[in-house]
Structure formats: structure tokens, C-alpha cells
Amino acid sequence: MSTSSHHILVKFGGNSLSGQGDLERFAGELAELIDRDYHPILVHGGGPEISREMEVRGMAVRKVAGLRVTDDAALAVAEEVLSRINAATVAVLRAKGINAMGVSAAQAGVVCRPKPPVIVIENGVEAKVDLGRVGDVVGVAGTWLDEVLDAGVVPVIYPIGADASGDRYNVNADTMAAFVAQAAGAETMVLLTDVPGILRGGEGSREVVHEVTFQGIDELIAEGVITGGMIPKVEACRDAIRHRVAVVHMLNGRDPGSMVRKLIGQERIGTTVTQG
Ligand SMILES: Nc1ncnc2c1ncn2[C@@H]1O[C@H](COP(=O)(O)OP(=O)(O)OP(=O)(O)O)[C@@H](O)[C@H]1O
Ligand SMILES: [Mg+2]
């Protein structure tokens, strides 16, 4: 692994960057970071696009604790949509002169296993929900990631992983980002989303929590402030920090220049997670 540059994992979702214009602006911001000796590693989701495609095909969309219930047909849609977003992203980055290479997490060597059923409380009653083809990450096999980083390549990874026998799983993109960040030895992880960080009044409120500790996260979950897709996101932040990622920010990907302003300009935007 090269030591001169600062490895930074940047994750974006489908709502944080939508359409060609956003993607081009994002590529410009990444180019600016690369000029300042950052070496990005990208992971992306595609939640809204997957849901849209499932609806077009008349499939039911269901999420539990922020995770998509994924049967075989939904996995096929997720793979198709994510690989399409991946190819579009790589094309835009390369057009900006960035040496990007797109792969699935499975191709990058990420090893998964089925996620155990999640326990949810519905109307005061505990229920176990089997998420189907949703994976947890268990490790990374081979040296692909180290080799491409050494070669100065910017990997662009979509979160479909495989187990040892090649069966594939849909993994939440934030969960995948935290894992890839630690596997790549990234010092910094930035999760770009469609909100300006954790909102104190919950979804739709205005007040951003700029700094939050592990314990603060527990409290916000218990109070019902953090819900939906924000749950796997904050868990990913904690996971990354537990595994020696030094700096973890959530930023609004729709806010032009937010990454550069936060990392270079030290602007007080987004949410920074610390162990506390
Ligand atoms: N307290 C909170 N503050 C901010 N957002 C919250 C909060 N609680 C729940 N959310 C929801 O979390 C969402 C972000 O997670 P979501 O999974 O939808 O997007 P993403 O992770 O950026 O994209 P993708 O899942 O496609 O990778 C917000 O749009 C908001 O609706
Ligand atoms: Mg999400």
C-alpha cells in the first residue's frame, strides 16, 4: 500500500448524487482532492434506483431497519441497477482524467455470509424478519484491493458480495463502505447522503448534530430520532472507527463542494462521529 497519499473512502448513494450533472460535479471535487494528494476509494449504493426498477417490474419493495428485504428476483434487480450506476460513474470519472476502475465487492474479494434474521418490534411484539439475500461482510480474500491502490487506481465498488461458494448477497452500501475503508487502510471515511448529517429532530428537521459520540448515537436511536437508512449509516460510522479509520464524516452530497469545504476548509458542516 502506498504511504505518501491519504486514503479516503467516499461513499455515495442514489439520492445524494442523482443524474449526470451531479456526477460530473462530484468527479470534479474528487479530482480536486486527488490534486491535494488524497487517494479516493469509492463505494456506492443505489437504493432509490433499485426501488424504482422494482416498482416498474411490479415487485414489492420492503425495508426493515433500513435494510432491503431481498429475494432472488430483487437481488437480480439490485445487481443490474448497481452495475449500471457503477459503469456510468466510472465513465464520468475517467472523462475527468481519474484512473477509475469499477468492480462489484465480490470481484474486489469481499467475502460475505447471509445476515441473520433481524429482530424488530411491531406493535410491542418482537418479530424475527428474514431479509433473504442480504449479506454481512466477513473478510476480504486476495490482494486485488492492495494491488490497485498501489497502482494508483481509484476503485469504484458496488455492494454485491459473494460467499466462498460464489452465492451473491446484497449488502447495505454504508456497511460495505465501512468494511472497504478498513480493508484499504483509509484514514478518512466520508458518507455522502441526501441530508446535511444527523438531524436532531429526525427526518425533515433542520438542526444538524455536528458532532456525535458512540453513546450519543445510542441515545438518538433509543429516542427514535435516528430511523430508516440512518441506522445502518451510523452503525457503519462506528464500525469504521472501531477498525482504525481515524476520521468519519457524513455530508450532504447535494451541497456543492461539501467534501472539499469539510476536508480542506474545515468548515462546520455535516456530522462527525467520534468514539467519545
Ligand atoms: N435523524 C435523522 N437525520 C437525518 N436523516 C435521517 C434521520 N433519521 C432517518 N433519516 C433518513 O436517513 C436517510 C439517509 O439514508 P438512506 O439509506 O435513505 O440514503 P443513503 O444511504 O444516502 O443512500 P443509499 O441507501 O442509496 O446508499 C435520510 O434521507 C433520512 O430520510
Ligand atoms: Mg442507505
Q: At what angle do helices 230-242 and 214-222 cross, to 10 degrees?
A: 160
Measured distance CA(221)–CA(70) in Å, rounded: 24
Across 54-58, 125-129, 169-173, 240-244, least confident range? 125-129
Q: What is the pLDDT of residues 5-51, one digit of tens each?
A: 899 999 999 888 878 899 999 999 999 999 999 999 999 999 999 99
The answer for residues whose C-beta is within 8 angstroms of residue 179's C-beta and 6 or more apart is 110, 137, 140, 239
Inter-CA distances, 171 with 12, 137, 168, 184, Å: 14, 8, 10, 18
Please, what CATH class does the domain formed by 6-270 belong to? alpha beta
| Distance in angstroms (rounded) separating the CA atoms of residues 104 and 24 | 22
Q: Return d(Cα 232, Cα 13) in angstroms, integer.
A: 13
CB 45 within 8 A of CB 13: yes
**Domain range list for the chain:** 6-270
State what percent of residues in the chain have pLDDT above 70. Answer: 99
Identify the residue whose C-alpha is closest to ligand 1 atom 22.
Answer: 193
Distance 27 CA to ligand 1 centre (A): 22
Q: If you take atom 6 of ligand 1, which residue's CA is the nearest one?
A: 203
Q: What is the DSSP string of 192-209?
A: EESSSSEETTSTT---EE
Tell whether the torsion through CA atoms of 20, 23, 29 and 33 is positive or negative. negative
Residue 154 CB contacts under 8 Å (≥ 6 apart), including other chains: 30, 34, 39, 40, 41, 42, 93, 98, 99, 100, 101
> 97: CA distance to ligand 2 center in Å?
28
pLDDT over 60 at 3, yes or no: no
Q: Is the CB of 229 under 6 A from ligand 1?
A: yes
Residue in this structure with the C-alpha cell 497502482, named with its chain if needed: 151
44 lines ligand 1 (CB under 6 A): no
Q: Which atom of ligand 1 is nearest to the CA of 49?
A: 26
Residue 151 in this model has a pLDDT that exceeds 80? yes
Give me the residues near ligand 2 (ion), CB cutoff below 5 Å.
229
Using CA atoms of 31, 34, 38, 43 in order, give the dihedral in degrees to the nearest 10: 40
Which ligand has the shortest distance to the CA of 270?
1
Which of 16, 26, 193 for a ligand 1 pocket mutation test, highest count of atoms within 8 Å of Cβ?
193
Which helix (H) or strand (E) segment holds residue 85: the answer is helix 72-95
- 197 Cα: distance to centroid of ligand 1 (angstroms): 9
The predicted-structure confidence for 186-215, as pLDDT tens digits, reads as follows: 999 999 999 999 999 988 889 999 999 999
